[in-house]
Amino acid sequence: MPSAVITFTPLRTELGLIHAHGVDAEKFLQGQFSNDLHALASGHGQWSSYSTAKGRMIANFYVQRDRDGFWLSLAADMADIVIERLRKFRMMAKLEIERGEPEFALFAVFGRGAGDLLGHALGLAAPETGNSGLVHDDRIITRLPWVNAEAFLIISPASRAEALSAGLTAAGARAGSAEDWRLQAIHAGVGMISNATTEKVIPQELNLEVLGGINFKKGCYPGQEIVARSHYLGKLKNQTYRISARAPLRAGEEIFSANMGEQSIGVVINTAPDPQDGFAALAVLRAANTGEALMAGAPDGTPLSLGKLPYTLPLDVAKEG
């Protein structure tokens, strides 16, 4: 769902930044994440995830590359957890894994025409295809692979964040909130694992395969066998759907269906107030039960409505076939 206006949002309260750099950064991270870093060019990006040996996602993130290494944008409350875990397995690898803040700041720019406005504000040709990007004037500017929507992530030196905000405002963008950004991500079908949902789902259940966040030919990484088995043997039963409610929802809240009684059939991943629907959310749900009445919190809890995503869900295709 494109925005009615072009919005820019500092994401310091929503997403954290991890910077991994050093001579062994690519080799080490290649053995940890679900996507292939080898072909990622400077300025470009990709979705990826970091899982336990049992395939449960610790976190997912958007990875951007520059000349000095890799930048991970992930749920703010997961950044330090992921850093600590990566450092634990670093062993003798020569790389630094550290917070990008406060030296750097993360911005999002989104809405129909965002690329043109961004190009005008910064004096450049903005990336036109998803996951493409560039390094310009010490900033990394990458277009997200959202379907039918324009959205960009910008990593900027914090010392120049105020100038960036002023330039975007002068070009006609409005300053938005973290909730504005989260709502747009929900409509784009892009969920982020937070502390409330860490280690609850596998990458495919968050639709990361559809979003291009899994490479099945890259070799071993934690949880790779579970992820591959779900892909090649057709073991997947759950996937992420867009839902809405008239009452607030919260990340980590369980979801129930009319025919399953007290057995949970899903979990809320992200939620945000929505002027059109009350409260919008993304939730991992058991595909077989999505045609039933759905409730959040308890079997007699908040009624839910199922919405549409801008891309096709693989289990729904199989069900229709």
Secondary structure, 3-state, 117-173: HHHHHHCCCCCCCCCCEEEECCEEEEECCCCCCCEEEEEEEHHHHHHHHHHHHHCCC
Whether 31 and 170 map to the same domain: the answer is yes
pLDDT at residue 272 tops 70:
yes
pLDDT at residue 315, rounded to an integer: 87
- Return the CATH number at 33: 3.30.1360.120
Whether 160 and 278 map to the same domain: the answer is no
Q: How many CB atoms lie within 10 A of CB 23?
A: 11
pLDDT at residue 319, rounded to an integer: 55
Whether 181 and 314 map to the same domain: the answer is no
pLDDT at residue 231 tops 90:
no
pLDDT at residue 233, rounded to an integer: 82
Q: pLDDT of 104-152, one tens digit each?
A: 999 999 999 999 999 999 999 999 999 999 999 899 999 999 998 999 9
pLDDT at residue 34 tops 60:
yes
Domain interval for residue 261: 237-320
- Return the CATH number at 268: 2.40.30.110
pLDDT at residue 2, rounded to an integer: 39
Strands 174-175 and 7-10: parallel
pLDDT at residue 320, rounded to an integer: 53
Whether 137 and 248 map to the same domain: the answer is no
pLDDT at residue 1 tops 70:
no
pLDDT at residue 43 tops 80:
yes
How far is C-alpha 291 from the chain's CA centre? 26
Maximum C-alpha span of the chain: 58
Whether 173 and 247 map to the same domain: the answer is no
d(CA 205, CA 226): 12
Whether 175 and 242 map to the same domain: the answer is no
Task: Examine the fold and report which residue of 165, 188, 211 is the final residue of a domain before the chain moves on.
Answer: 188
**Is 301 domain-assigned?**
yes
Q: 25-58 burial, b for 16+ CB within 10 Å, e for fewer?
A: bbebbbbbbbbbbeebeebbbbbbbbbeeebbbb
Whether 55 and 176 map to the same domain: the answer is yes
Whether 152 and 243 map to the same domain: the answer is no
**Is 210 domain-assigned?**
no
Task: Examine the fold and report which residue of 188, 222, 253 is the final residue of a domain before the chain moves on.
Answer: 188
Whether 242 and 183 map to the same domain: the answer is no
pLDDT at residue 217 tops 70:
yes
**Is 220 domain-assigned?**
no
Identify which has the larger pLDDT, 67 or 298.
Answer: 298
**Is 225 domain-assigned?**
no
Q: How many domains does the chain have?
A: 2
Least confident of 74-88, 90-104, 226-240: 226-240
Q: What is the rounded average pLDDT for all residues in the chain?
A: 95
Whether 164 and 85 map to the same domain: the answer is yes
Percent of residues in the chain assigned helix, strand, coil, to nearest 5: 25, 30, 45
**Is 22 domain-assigned?**
yes
Q: pLDDT of 71-92, one tens digit each?
A: 999 999 999 999 999 999 999 9
Q: Find where tokens 């079908």 sit.
A: 189
Identify which has the larger pLDDT, 219 or 221.
Answer: 221
Task: Examine the fold and report which residue of 127, 158, 188 is the final residue of a domain before the chain moves on.
Answer: 188
Residues in the chain, total: 321
DSSP H or E stretch at residue 318: helix 314-320
pLDDT at residue 229 tops 60:
yes
Whether 68 and 150 map to the same domain: the answer is yes
Mean pLDDT of 292-307: 98
**Is 224 domain-assigned?**
no
pLDDT at residue 31, rounded to an integer: 97
**Is 120 domain-assigned?**
yes
Whether 178 and 290 map to the same domain: the answer is no
Q: How many CB atoms lie within 10 A of CB 308?
A: 10
